Amino acid sequence: MAKYKIIDLFAGCGGLCDGFEQTGFFYQVACVEWEKAPRDTLVRRLEDRWGYADAQYRVARFDIQRTDELFRGWTKDSVYGDGVGLDKLVAKSGHIDLIVGGPPCQAYSIAGRIRDENGMQNDYRNYLFECYLKVVDRYKPKAFVFENVTGILSARPHGINIIERIRQTFLDHGYELINNISNNAIVDLVHFGVPQKRSRVILLGLNRSKFTGDRQKALSEFYNDILPAYRSDKVSTVRDAIGNLPALRPVKGSYKVNNRLYSHKPDSTDILNHYPRYHNSRDRKIFYELAADLDSGKNHYVSVEAIKQLYAERTGRTSSVHKYYVLRRNEPSNTIPAHLYKDGLRHVHYDPKQARSITVREAARLQTFDDDFEFLGSMGDQYKMIGNAVPPLFSKRLGYAVKDLLHKYKL
């Protein structure tokens, strides 16, 4: 069968793209990403792994809010340089079958709303779905997939129920979503082989002019039968994901490589992006104590209050939230967030002898990126793009499910 032609919006480093490519049923016409490091990473991946020799051409680095230019092209932009625009890319391919992507989740996340003094009420990202809609409206695919955090279900900037606004707006433009989103569209990725506690809202929209049958029945079938058929038989754990990676052991003091300061040395340097973040001696001692406490079964530091007290004792500061979390080796990881680019205190390795937070490669494995997936940019850039990504293993299974639905209804 011919491959479905796809556009990936808010593409990041390509978690959705990579999973859909792995199915063999999709062809990447264009991707849009505004940050340089994830865009460069995606270009490299499409070139080296998926054979798109012209990936530089089809992966647009541009601000999706400048929609008219995104469609028609731009030249000599001080930030984004030159770009041919989506219209030429789509015209070259003939048509678009599917649009995928998810606007940045920070405006919808509950954690983001707690941290922001205005509860993200005034964050422009609340309405980036409207830019996504403009692309859907222009190229009129058979369907679209919109991914975001579960916090989107309770987000109400200025009293507006954002998920209902999204559902109604897409309906007004000819695309139908499942009626009861809260009861149907929340997907726990741990059931799909992802070794991580990560629930997401997956919105599938069907083109009402191309799908003339009972769309609610088909959408219900997708969420209740087709997608669940790709669930895993077992839950993957942290040890399953990262247990065989070379250890990174603390050294006395520190050392430098290419002017970067390190506190740990690897047993092997053969794994891409598996190198240690610098930790001072105080943090190394805390990480050792926390991991050893779990390893021994004493469990003195499993409560929030105990961890907050430890933080106060060792740093002389107080915190309203607990700063540390050691990954449980025999359980899925806690969620891998973009916040990892700031610090790894909530993602401490379970091995007390290593006394450190997780590496970029370990974060990538917990997000189910293959080991040959190379992340570019600074270490902070790499952590951020991994935390923002859709896990490719889930994306692959989602891709199969979308293909099954489109194929079944001859779309």
First to last CA, the chain: 12
Q: Which of 118-132, 210-224, 253-267 has the lowest mean pLDDT?
A: 118-132
Is the pLDDT at 120 greater than 60? The verdict is no
Q: Which of 118-122, 171-175, 210-214 has the lowest mean pLDDT?
A: 118-122
Strands (E), 162-237: 175-176, 186-188, 199-207
What does the pLDDT look like over 353-389, one tens digit per residue? 999 999 999 999 999 999 999 999 999 999 999 999 9
* Structural domains for the chain: 4-237+389-408 (3.40.50.150), 246-358 (no CATH)
One-letter amino acid for residue 408 of the chain: K
Sign, Cα dihedral of 225, 197, 206, 401: negative
- Of 285, 367, 353, 378, the closest CA to residue 324 belongs to 285
Contacts of 228 (CB under 8 A, 6+ apart): none
DSSP characters over 328-375: PTTSPBPP--GGGGT--TTSB-S-TTT-SBPPHHHHHHHTT--TT-PP
Sign, Cα dihedral of 335, 339, 341, 342: negative
Contacts of 342 (CB under 8 A, 6+ apart): 380
The pLDDT of 200-204, averaged and rounded, is: 97
Can you tell me the distance from the alpha carbon of 7 to that of 17, in angstroms, rounded to the nearest whole number? 9
What does the pLDDT look like over 307-338, one tens digit per residue? 999 999 998 988 888 889 999 999 999 999 99
On whether the CB atoms of residues 11 and 33 are closer than 8 A, the answer is: yes
Can you tell me the distance from the alpha carbon of 98 to that of 8, in angstroms, rounded to the nearest whole number? 9
- Of 5, 7, 4, the closest CA to residue 134 belongs to 7
Can you tell me the distance from the alpha carbon of 146 to that of 132, in angstroms, rounded to the nearest whole number? 9
Pinpoint the alpha helices (H) of 214-359: 215-221, 238-242, 281-296, 304-315
The DSSP output letter for 376 is: P
Other C-beta atoms closer than 10 Å to the C-beta of 371 total 14
